[in-house]
Amino acid sequence: MGTLDQFITDVQDELRTISGINFVPEYPADSVPTYPFVPVMASDGNSDHHKNPGLSYWLHNVRVGLLAPREDININTQIILPKLEPIVEGLQKELLSSTSRFKPNISTFGVLNYVSGPIEWGGIMMLGFMIEITGVKIKNTL
């Protein structure tokens, strides 16, 4: 059985394997002890149970942040920019692999979108990226 919580935990585990990522909290944190800070959270989605009786279909979008304080934009850009591609490539490799830890109940369309710029987190202006894993499909038996 696949769950959104398990998917997020697996994404966090994958992110923790990437060199230079200092803080991937279990749940989004109000205070950040070290940077870059990489929170993972559900952003939106939907559920459809009527297409096939006995099955539960979920379609989620999951957001991955790559954040640093905006105190020194020059230095923090140099810290976070080189981490974007390893994060996206690490996630794509795991999401699209035939041996992915997410199979067989969880799959994705393999699309990762991102936006960059100033982002407010817990009342603090951050600089960074929000990476969106779109179309996280979860199918379970009711």
Q: What's the CATH code of the domain at 107? A: 3.30.2000.10
Cβ atoms of 112 and 92 closer than 8 Å: yes
Alpha carbon distance 12, 62 (integer Å): 11
DSSP per residue, 35-103: SSB--EEEEEEEEE-SSSTTEEEEEEEEEEEEEEESTTHHHHHHHHHHHHHHHHHHHHHHHH-TT-TTT
Domain hosting residue 64, numbered range: 4-141
Q: What integer pLDDT is reported at residue 96 of this predicted model? A: 74
Q: What integer pLDDT is reported at residue 57 of this predicted model? A: 83
Q: What integer pLDDT is reported at residue 20 of this predicted model? A: 87
Q: What integer pLDDT is reported at residue 12 of this predicted model? A: 93
- Alpha carbons within 13 A on the beta-carbon side of 104: 2
- Alpha carbons within 13 A on the beta-carbon side of 102: 28
Which of helix, strand or coil describes residue 15? helix
Q: What integer pLDDT is reported at residue 82 of this predicted model? A: 93
Q: What is the CB neighbour count within 10 angstroms for residue 16?
A: 11
Per the structure, the count of domains in the chain is: 1
Give the closest residue to 79 by CA, choosing from 138, 26, 130, 19. 19
39: cis peptide before it, omega within 30°? no
Q: Could you tell me which residues are beta bridge partners of residue 46?
A: 59
pLDDT means per 10 residues, the chain with 142 residues, are 85 91 86 85 84 80 91 87 92 76 68 89 86 86 76
